[in-house]
């Protein structure tokens, strides 16, 4: 009896030691001396930089170039992505706990917008956002010490933040624990994101961003790695029978939480929410918060496709959130007798249209007073993020609506501006702006109301814009029946 108790105490003691001995405290990491300097190896998804073999903290130089690029969202559908390094998600950054990271954010001169970076791995105001706010054609530098191990999301935090994130401005930074991670055969980088296009899912052509769909959290696409099929079909992630696979998975959002699941697999290990402090084992589905991450490990025992999905299933089968680990090798009839079939999981395909539901049209405003009242709400929900509540705009980025000569000169042009969006150079009160305003997916009455509100605020001309005006003059094909 005593021998047994002694045995138990010894094993529990050893286990405790194993989990606590190697974990460094934040203070120890602050004081960890920096030896030498190196350039970070950065990778595009689904690749992950190699494991760190260093045993000392060093200074790691990271260069990330922000590029606004047109890319493919789905077959026949393109989108203007804003990226950290040319792709969505942004470059994978891998450093070691205790490292000093010197981050250079380069905003390409062809870009239209200022950008910055907020890394959740940073301890400091805004995660680096203010320190890295960079105009097109400029470069900013700041540094931070990686004090807490884990897998962290980074993203742009320039106003309107949700729009920058919705356009693809997110990525992952892995702060490897000092003791390293268990070895696996494959490591891959996967990041979920929700996208809000003006056209509905599958509608062809270059699709502008819809701020109102983003605010309503009604994405047209929910995808892994920036587009439909980015890690499916011929882009599947390869593995062989009996190999181990690790996925570093992030959720860029901006809005949706992911119920991350692998069809035909069980996660042997999940480092929940990207924290290496405690692992869960034998997990079927794991939640990834928007702006959060997870690390999953699993061994593949039989050939076939392991299908990665957000188990909120219409996102997978109707919005694009499908990925695959394609496993090749010998069957093992004992583990699984039948033949796996991936067709079963893809019949609806991507770009499947949801049956059009026509909600009852909202009541139409009758008087100017009613329009001003409704318009104020529409303005605060949709426009104030950029043009500001007082209509003053933001110098060099968003033009003023208060006493705007552009606005006051021409009511019809204003209707077209708001229904069709505006980009390219525009001069307002003598100041040139060259930004992008998305087309607004608002109904005639909402447009009429918001414009009447604007025309009757902040010293503007007092014009009335009626629902019939908007119906007659809106950019053709724009807008939807509002929900």
Give the binding site for ligand HEC (CB under 6 A).
160, 163, 211, 382-383, 385-387, 398-401, 404, 406-407, 414, 417-418, 422-424, 426, 428, 433-437, 440, 450
- Out of ligand HEC, Cu ion, none, which partner does residue 316 contact, by CB within 5 to 8 A per kind? none
Q: Which is nearer to ligand HEC, 220 or 376 (CB)?
A: 376
- Out of ligand HEC, Cu ion, none, which partner does residue 404 contact, by CB within 5 to 8 A per kind? ligand HEC
Q: Which is nearer to Cu ion, 71 or 264 (CB)?
A: 71
Instruction: Choose, by CB under 5 A, the member of 164, 178, 213, 371 that binds Cu ion.
Output: 164
Instruction: Tell me how far, at minimum, the Cβ of 71 lies from ligand HEC, in Å.
Output: 20
Q: Which is nearer to ligand HEC, 52 or 437 (CB)?
A: 437
- Out of Cu ion, ligand HEC, none, which partner does residue 62 contact, by CB within 5 to 8 A per kind? none
Instruction: Tell me how far, at minimum, the Cβ of 68 lies from Cu ion, in Å.
Output: 9
Q: Is 169 in the site for Cu ion (CB under 5 A)?
A: yes
Instruction: Tell me how far, at minimum, the Cβ of 291 lies from Cu ion, in Å.
Output: 15
Does residue 150 contact residue 8 with C-beta atoms inside 8 Å?
no
Alpha carbons 145 and 30: distance in angstroms, whole number:
7
- Out of Cu ion, ligand HEC, none, which partner does residue 433 contact, by CB within 5 to 8 A per kind? ligand HEC
Q: Which is nearer to ligand HEC, 196 or 398 (CB)?
A: 398
Q: Which is nearer to Cu ion, 107 or 197 (CB)?
A: 107
Instruction: Tell me how far, at minimum, the Cβ of 453 lies from ligand HEC, in Å.
Output: 9
Q: Is 156 in the site for Cu ion (CB under 5 A)?
A: yes
Q: Enumerate residues 6+ apart whose C-beta is below 8 A from 138.
A: 107
Instruction: Tell me how far, at minimum, the Cβ of 393 lies from ligand HEC, in Å.
Output: 7
Q: Which two tokens stand for residue 323?
A: 């990925």
- Out of Cu ion, ligand HEC, none, which partner does residue 158 contact, by CB within 5 to 8 A per kind? Cu ion
Q: Which is nearer to ligand HEC, 259 or 460 (CB)?
A: 460
> In degrees rounded to 5, what are phi and psi of residue 151?
-110, 115
Q: Which is nearer to Cu ion, 156 or 439 (CB)?
A: 156
**Of all residues in this chain, which one has the CB nearest to Cu ion in the complex?**
156
Q: Residues in the chain, how many?
A: 483
Instruction: Choose, by CB under 5 A, the member of 29, 158, 467, 478 that binds Cu ion.
Output: 158
Alpha carbons 232 and 324: distance in angstroms, whole number:
5
Instruction: Tell me how far, at minimum, the Cβ of 414 lies from ligand HEC, in Å.
Output: 5
Q: Which is nearer to Cu ion, 116 or 318 (CB)?
A: 116
Point out which residues bind Cu ion (CB under 5 A).
115, 156, 158, 164, 169
């Amino acid at each position: 009896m005593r021998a047994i108790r002694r045995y138990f105490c010894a094993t529990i003691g050893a286990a405790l030691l194993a989990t606590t001995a190697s974990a460094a405290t934040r203070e120890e990491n602050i004081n960890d001396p920096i030896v030498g300097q190196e350039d970070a190896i950065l990778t595009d998804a689904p690749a992950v930089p190699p494991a760190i073999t260093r045993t000392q903290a060093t200074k790691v130089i990271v260069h990330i170039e922000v590029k606004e690029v047109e890319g493919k969202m789905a077959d026949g559908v393109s989108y203007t992505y804003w990226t950290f390094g040319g792709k969505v998600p942004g470059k994978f950054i891998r450093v070691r706990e205790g490292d000093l990271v010197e981050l250079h954010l380069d905003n390409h001169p062809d870009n239209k917008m200022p950008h910055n970076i907020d890394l959740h791995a940073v301890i400091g105001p805004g995660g680096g956002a203010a320190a890295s706010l960079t105009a097109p054609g400029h470069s900013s530098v700041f540094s931070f010490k990686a004090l807490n191990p884990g897998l962290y999301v980074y993203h742009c935090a320039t106003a309107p933040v949700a729009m920058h994130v919705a356009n693809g401005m997110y990525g992952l930074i892995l702060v490897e624990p000092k003791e390293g991670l268990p070895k696996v055969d494959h490591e891959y980088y996967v990041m979920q994101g929700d996208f809000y296009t003006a056209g509905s899912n599958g509608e062809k052509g270059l699709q502008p961003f819809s701020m109102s769909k983003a605010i309503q959290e009604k994405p047209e696409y929910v995808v892994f790695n920036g587009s439909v099929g980015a890690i499916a079909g011929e882009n599947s992630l390869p593995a062989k029978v009996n190999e181990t696979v690790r996925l570093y998975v992030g959720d860029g959002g901006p809005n949706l939480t992911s119920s991350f699941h692998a069809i035909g697999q069980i996660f042997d290990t999940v480092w929940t929410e990207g924290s290496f402090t405690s692992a869960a084992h034998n997990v079927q589905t794991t939640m990834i918060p928007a702006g959060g991450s997870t690390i999953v490990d699993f061994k593949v025992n039989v050939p076939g496709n392991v299908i990665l999905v957000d188990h909120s299933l219409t996102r997978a089968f109707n919005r694009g959130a499908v990925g695959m680990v394609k496993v090749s090798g010998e069957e093992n009839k004992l583990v699984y007798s039948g033949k796996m079939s991936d067709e079963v999981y893809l019949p609806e395909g991507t770009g499947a249209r949801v049956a059009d539901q026509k909600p009852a049209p909202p009541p139409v405003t009758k008087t100017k007073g009613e329009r001003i009242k409704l318009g104020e709400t529409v303005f605060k929900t949709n426009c104030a993020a950029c043009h500001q509540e007082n209509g003053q705009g933001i110098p060099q980025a968003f033009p003023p609506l208060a006493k705007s000569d552009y606005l006051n000169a021409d009511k019809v042009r204003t209707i077209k501006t708001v229904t069709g969006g505006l980009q390219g150079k525009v001069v307002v009160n003598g100041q040139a702006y060259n930004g992008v305003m998305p087309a607004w997916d608002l109904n005639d009455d909402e447009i009429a109301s918001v414009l009447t509100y604007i025309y009757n605020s902040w010293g503007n001309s007092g014009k009335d814009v009626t629902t019939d005006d908007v119906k007659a003059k809106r950019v053709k094909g724009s807008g939807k029946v509002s929900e």
